[in-house]
Amino acid sequence: MIPLLHKTSICLCIIGVMAGWSTPFTDQEIKRAAETFLEQDQAVSSHLIDVRVQAGIVTLQGKVDNLLSRDRAADVLLNIAGVRGVINRIKVHPVERSDLAVRDKILQEFAGHRVLGQRDLHVEVEKGLVALRGAAGSQTEKKLALYLVKGTAGVIDIIDKIVVNPPERKSDGRIKREIDARFDIGPVLADSDISISVHNGEVHLSGLVDNVQTLNAAIRTAGVQGATLVDAGDLTVTSQPRKSILRNQPPARGDSTIKQNIEDAFFYDPRLLPSDISVEVSEGDVTLKGLVISLQARKAAAQTARHATGADSVVNNLRIRRQLTLTDFELEQKVIEALKWDPYLERFEITVWLENAKAYLYGHVDNHFEKERAWAVVSRIAGITDIENRITVRESEWSSESDYAIESGLRERLRWNTHINERTITFRVEDGIVTLKGEVATGQEYQAALTSAFNAGAKGVQMDVDLEGEELFFLHSPYFYSYEEFYSIH
């Protein structure tokens, strides 16, 4: 039996608070920005969520129908300048599933994974509350297990009792050296005021960070192979949010450094477990070769490589490992089952047809996120080599906005997004078309600016930006994105 005291979950996404806190943003301004960001995110049912802000700490209350949506609400707000933490009191009210069915589905997901299937993981379910116990070989494996459970319909919360037992015992000094090296290559953490200590495999972080995004990046980065725990209890968010940190560290240009950055990123990406990827770099141009287990892993590898510090272009020659023992009928049943158990898609009638390991999807959903979600769910299935997503979105046409409304909305989004330095980007709006010019520091900033323009109501976006003086070949600049194209690839 799972203890009842665990049935209410509060997610506190802030660790430290500085005395005498002050910021250029008022709590009321942050509240308005938070409500706007939530309203525009298609993965969150914002009309059921209440937002309160005090001293930069956002408290969320309300209800959603799945655990991924609850976590997404907090993640969205962590992209807002001035937000120093999120207390997530949102409750999950999913479509009811029997505890036995939920448990069987989770165990099936674990058993079907080439890495997690070899771990001794135990699952208990009581009224939708899932308790996980056992041992994972790394923080990455543990993260993957938690993600699979969150993506199971009927789950209201998780009690995480998974411990990390690395197959290779590393000395505390070696763990610290690896963390130091990972901090040094990142554009966000390289100049941060963070102290790192390691004792018996447990990592302790202390010091000051500029925002919650940096804090969370520090926690993720410190979870190297061999670390059994990352404690960030003494990390404190400073009083003044700062965006210019994006440019504190110049991109690494040496091919060997770029190669190491990408290989490190692959190692800690749970979507790439397991994989056999070879990385080649020549004058900043990256080529990926080898085998991966799924379409999702192939796409994730390219995305991760493009966002690695120093990469100019990425050629994705990865191949998907075929599951020759599975027939098209067996793969089709796996796809149908996966869509039926996804908490975002379970209410939709989606038709599936398989031919030569290629999946064809038909049906109707309410928004572009749900259509892309269907692709993502099917792409995780080992053996699927291609997907043709013919699902239609009920409201897929651009709804007209005035140029003034788009301009005002975009100005606010550039101001609030922690990934964007609005001082280096200019824009104009004409007949619903946004033209963005200037300079970005990372591929992430490029994507954040593009997404901000469409979220502001743009009909199309002309991207004409440079990566700190160099043309963004692999991110298409200059390039025009139509409304339809943007939502077909995001």
Is 477 contained in some domain? yes
Q: Cα 413–265–267 angle (5° rounding)?
A: 140
Tell me the pLDDT band of 72, cut-offs 50, 70 and 90.
very high
How far apart are the C-alpha atoms of 34 and 419, rounded to whole Å? 15
Q: Higher-confidence residue: 134 or 260?
A: 134
- As a whole number of angstroms, the distance between CA 283 and CA 112 comes to 40
Q: Is 295 within the bounds of a domain?
A: yes
The domain spanning residue 285 has which CATH number? 3.30.1340
What is the pLDDT, as a whole number, of residue 362?
97
State whether 104 and 84 are in the same domain: no
Q: What is the pLDDT of residue 140?
A: 86
Average pLDDT over residues 83-89: 90
Q: Are residues 412 and 482 in the same domain?
A: yes
Same domain? 153 vs 226: no
Q: Does residue 183 carry a pLDDT above 90? A: no
- Who contacts 171 (Cβ-Cβ below 8 Å, separation ≥6)? none
d(CA 146, CA 164): 13
Domain endpoint, select from 45, 68, 92: 92
pLDDT of the residue at 326: 85
Domain co-membership, 455 together with 389: no
Beta bridge partners of residue 198, listed in sequence order: 203
pLDDT in tens, 106-145: 999 999 888 898 899 999 999 999 999 999 988 889 999 9
- Report if residue 2 sits inside a domain: no
Give burial (CB, 10 Å; 0-12/13-18/19+) of 393. middle
| CA-based R_g, the chain, Å | 22
Same domain for 56 and 87, yes or no, is yes
Please give the Cα distance from 8 to 156 (Å, whole number): 10
pLDDT at 238: 67
Q: Indicate which CATH number applies to the domain containing 362.
A: 3.30.300.130
Q: Has residue 200 got a pLDDT over 80?
A: yes
CA dist., res. 313 & res. 476, Å (int) = 10
Q: Is residue 426 part of a domain?
A: yes
Distance CA 355, CA 360 (A): 8
Per-residue pLDDT reduced to its tens digit, 2-31? 554 444 444 455 444 444 444 578 999 999
Q: Side-chain half-sphere of 62: how many Cα atoms within 13 Å?
A: 20
Amino acid at position 109, single letter: E
- Number of domains present in the structure of the chain: 6
In a domain, 247, yes or no: no
Do 346 and 309 lie in a common domain?
Answer: no
Please indicate, yes or no, whether residues 205 and 129 belong to a single structural domain of this protein.
Answer: no
Domain ranges, residue 283: 255-320
For position 274, what pLDDT does the model report? 73
pLDDT of residue 16: 46
Domain boundary among 341, 359, 393: 393
Same domain, 433 and 418: yes
Co-location of 310 and 361 in the same domain: no
In this prediction, residue 170 has a pLDDT band, given cuts at 50, 70 and 90, of confident
User: How many residues in the chain?
Assistant: 490
| pTM, two decimal places | 0.77
Is residue 64 one of the residues assigned to a domain? yes
- Angle among Cα 448, 146, 443 to the nearest 5 degrees reads 20
Per the prediction, the chain carries an average pLDDT of 84
The DSSP annotation for 222-237 comes to: H--TT--EEEEEEEEE
Domain boundary among 242, 270, 295: 242
Most confident of 83-92, 207-216, 305-314, 478-487: 83-92
Q: Is residue 248 part of a domain?
A: no
Q: pLDDT at position 343, please?
A: 95
- What 3-state DSSP class applies to 349? coil
Q: For the segment 351-372, what is each residue's pLDDT rounded down to a tens digit? A: 999 999 999 999 999 988 899 9
Same domain, 235 and 270: no
- Secondary structure of residue 397 in the 3-state scheme: coil
In a domain, 315, yes or no: yes
| Rounded CA separation 260/266 (Å) | 10
Q: Using the predicted structure, report yes or no on whether residue 379 has a pLDDT greater than 70.
A: yes
What stretches of 131-211 show up as alpha helix (H) in DSSP? 139-150, 172-185
Per-residue confidence band for 434, with pLDDT thresholds at 50, 70 and 90: very high
